[in-house]
Amino acid sequence: MLKEFKYETKVYYEDTDAGGVVYYANYLKFLERARTEMISSFELNNKKLLNNYKILIIVKSINIEYKKPAQLEDKIQIYSLIKSISKASFSMSQKIKRNDEIILNADIHLVTVNQEGKPVKIPEILEKSLKN
């Protein structure tokens, strides 16, 4: 993917913790929502990938750098970029911003697996979209 995919969401009470900011695990939900919306922008979705192509996309590794906390009612933007693609996996970089401020940076390695969890070739239709 040559250009970043942008997805916007908002911080609700459910996302925050008693520290007054977004709970550190909940940012991973925002990242996953953004990846899901990126897949949807390819006219695909997790359900279709499972039903028609018998695959799931799972996270193999993730590196996150927390830069600034997001807070209740914040509108945040998640930017997703495909960095490389191989036979049964691909790498992405994602960042969460609040307008000009960087909230966090993430590097993620994803693998396509079958329902038994074994790595399988990325379906052509998905591979093509990831490369565009």
Nearest-approach distance from CB 4 to its own copies, in angstroms = 20
118 binds its own copies (CB under 8 A): no
Say which of 15, 17, 74, 107 is annotated catalytic.
Answer: 17
Among 1, 5, 7, 21, binds its own copies (CB under 8 A): 21
- When the beta carbons of 8 and 65 are compared against its own copies, the nearer one is 65
Q: Which 44-83 residues touch its own copies, going by CB under 8 A?
A: 45-47, 56, 58-66, 69, 71-73
HEC secondary structure over the chain? CCCCEEEEEECCHHHECCCCEECCCCHHHHHHHHHHHHHHHCCCCHHHHHHHHCCEEEEEEEEEEECCCCECCCEEEEEEEEEEECCCEEEEEEEEEECCEEEEEEEEEEEEECCCCCECCCCHHHHHHHHC
Site residues, its own copies (CB under 8 A): 12-14, 16-21, 23-26, 28-29, 32-33, 36, 45-47, 56, 58-66, 69, 71-73, 117
